[in-house]
Chains A and B, each alone.
Chain A
Amino acid sequence: NAGVTQTPKFRILKIGQSMTLQCTQDMNHNYMYWYRQDPGMGLKLIYYSVGAGITDKGEVPNGYNVSRSTTEDFPLRLELAAPSQTSVYFCASTPERTSNYGYTFGSGTRLTVV
């Protein structure tokens, strides 16, 4: 199993550009999440999805959008990149909302906005 796959691994954007961070999981997990990791700040939840067609905002959703057209894919869209979005982004999934499952994380996308 590949688990959770994120692409690209690295990206440099100019201010105002847009891009999509891809996330795919092959475990048939219903729940998927996008986090950003900033130094000393832990991980902050951007958006999450409880199944295909259903998404909701997390702690820090401003400047981002998501979609969930299939169970496998949960892309994160940045429309107008800003320096404050420089971060490492992690996608995660879990089979169901009950709390006794650990999450499976992707290896991350390191984004720099200049």
Chain B
Amino acid sequence: AQSVAQPEDQVNVAEGNPLTVKCTYSVSGNPYLFWYVQYPNRGLQFLLKYITGDNLVKGSYGFEAEFNKSQTSFHLKKPSALVSDSALYFCAGNDYKLSFGAGTTVTVRA
């Protein structure tokens, strides 16, 4: 079985600063990991995925994520955050059916 956890309920950063949203996973076998973003009153939008290959995965809207097998982590990153990045972010793992973390609310202040 595969599960993911997001240790932070909220992340607050200033615009222009780096943004990191943390995710850890537990899995038996190869992990399949995803990041989604949810804007208010909207459905979830796919940002990026890790299946195999390079540990640094690039996705939509300038986001990237680093897969770290030794730390069982898949943190989402953006070098320079924008106010428009303020949203709810979900890490997810796919063990036949997507399992989601509890979500992290990101607030980027101007």
Contacts and interface: CB of A to CB of B under 8 A. Distances in A.
Interface string B72-106: 00000000000000000010001011111111000
B56 to A, nearest CB: 17
A84 interface: no
Contacts of B41: 107-108
Classify the interface of chain A: helix, strand, loop or mixed. Answer: loop
A105 B51 contact: no
A103 B102 contact: no
Contacts, number: 52
Contacts of A92: 44, 98
Instruction: With a 10 A CB-CB cut-off, give which of A45, A103, A107 has the most chain B CB atoms.
Output: A103
A99 B94 contact: yes
A99 B52 CA distance: 11
B32 A105 contact: no
Nearest to A43: B100
A100 interface: yes
Interface in A64-114: 90, 92, 97, 99-100, 102-108
B97 A108 contact: no
Given A100-B49, A102-B49, A48 B97 contact: yes
Interface of A: 4, 33, 35, 40-43, 45, 48, 58, 90, 92, 97, 99-100, 102-108
Interface of B: 9, 32, 34, 36, 41-46, 49, 51, 90, 94, 96-103
